[in-house]
Amino acid sequence: MTLIEEAKKGVISDFVKKAAEYEGVEAEKLIRLISHGYVVLPKNVRREDVKPRAIGMLTSTKVNANVGTSADYINVEEEIEKAIVAQKAGADAVMDLSSGGDLDAIRKKIMDVVKVPFGTVPIYQAARDCRRVVDMGEDDFIKAVEKHAKDGVDFMTIHSGVNWVSIERLKRSKRLLGVVSRGGAIIIGWMLHNEKENPYYKDFDYLLEILKEYDVTISLGDAYRPGCIHDAGDRAKYTEFIMLGELVERCREAGVQCMVEGPGHVPLDQIETSVRAMKSVTDNAPLYLLGPLVTDIAAGYDHIAAAIGAAIAGMAGADFICYVTPSEHLALPSVEDVREGVIAAKIAAHAIDLIKEGQRERARKRDYEMSLARKNLDWERQFQLSIDPEKAREIHSKRRSESEACSMCGDLCAIKLVKEAFERD
């Protein structure tokens, strides 16, 4: 039985118990949420040492980090280092999006160092293994999924919401950037050239059989996510929402865990509407967002633009944040870019948890302890409680004050002055 099938029978495995302990929720409550599809707990049956990371309702907001080669830059050791650094910085999941080099070997090497749930986008390999994208056969779409499942991949992004109905909506739209999803673009290009339906949509039941065999969680990809503020909130995106909602039902009925991916570039005033619409049409399936980025002009700082959007999206119900690095839209990220991207997303995730049902009390306790440490001018405790202890300690040590306060105020530190005044009183 798959995890969701066990959940429906009330079976609580040791893996679920560990996940519940990590989240600070009762195992019985967590298993009920999994049984309804409101929470997913990705783990391929072929992987043993995976840290449990529950995603969805009442659980802490999770962060994913993408790594992987490109056709222009293939350095496997650097991608392995990125995966290690991402986990050290707090990533709750890692995806390999490699599109250059020996993809099978790269995937396995990266997976070897990943201890959290591991994800891929199989269509990338299906496309790379053919001379031309449009030359792929329908079987190639499915074979790539089966190969990744056998290798032990825990969750996969699959763009099953692309079909002729959604393509017609795209044609009628007034989009500026069209389709920015690489996986979505591959499938749409293949469909238009071959005049055939998307195999991931047409053969969805067969796809689910493969995923079920290995208990792989499907992440229903958002091929029509807006790639710029101008394109946010259009009919093409909402058409795909509806398609994904229907596919969620089929996943749950088939005994396959599933989550849904969401929009990329959305202005502040549309984020809540977009998130609530997705949660509604997908019956509260865990929502996985790239950002959303709240502006198009933050080149070099898109990790900040994305963190702003993620925090707002989390207030409306988003559960899983895909990090964005400073290199977004500019280049393949460096190791340091990956670290900064994870930290920015972790800040947004914690901000969400401060108000999230089921996590509010635990998250606020950490902030309270930080405030207490600041009151006591306890620097070591402040470093320990920081999302990025290394950077906090480094900044503080560079410009040390002769007083017990920091070098911003020194002896004029407001906390220090008031504390001393009360002690004299």
Q: State whether 141 and 194 are in the same domain.
A: yes
Q: What are the pLDDT tens digits along the chain (425 aa)?
A: 999 999 999 999 999 999 999 999 999 999 999 999 999 999 999 998 899 999 999 999 999 999 999 999 999 999 999 999 999 999 999 999 999 999 999 999 999 999 999 999 999 999 999 989 999 999 999 999 999 999 999 999 999 999 999 999 999 999 999 999 999 999 999 999 999 999 999 999 999 999 999 999 999 999 999 999 999 989 999 999 999 999 999 999 999 999 999 989 999 999 999 999 999 999 999 999 999 999 999 999 999 999 999 999 999 999 999 999 999 999 999 999 999 999 999 999 999 999 999 999 999 999 999 999 999 989 999 999 999 999 999 998 887 776 777 877 777 777 777 777 777 76
Where do we find the tokens 């066990």?
6
Q: State whether 350 and 389 are in the same domain.
A: no
Q: Which two tokens stand for residue 341?
A: 């991207």
Q: State whether 352 and 372 are in the same domain.
A: no
Cβ neighbours around 61 below 10 Å, total: 25
**In this structure, what CATH number is given to the domain that contains residue 174?**
3.20.20.540
Domain boundary among 322, 340, 358: 358
Question: How many domains does the chain contain in total?
Answer: 2
151 burial type by CB count under 10 A (0-12 exposed, 13-18 middle, 19+ buried): middle
Return the axis-axis angle of helices 27-36 and 14-23, rounded to nearest 10°.
110
**CB-based contacts of 239: which residues, under 8 Å, 6+ apart?**
165, 166, 169, 224
Pairing between β-strand 62-67 and β-strand 320-322 as defined by DSSP bridges: parallel
pTM of the predicted protein model: 0.95
Domain boundary among 358, 377, 409: 358
User: Does 320 map to a domain?
Assistant: yes
Q: State whether 214 and 246 are in the same domain.
A: yes
Cβ(265)–Cβ(226) below 8 Å: yes
Q: Domain range holding 407? A: 361-424
CA–CA distance, 30 with 248 (Å, rounded to integer): 19
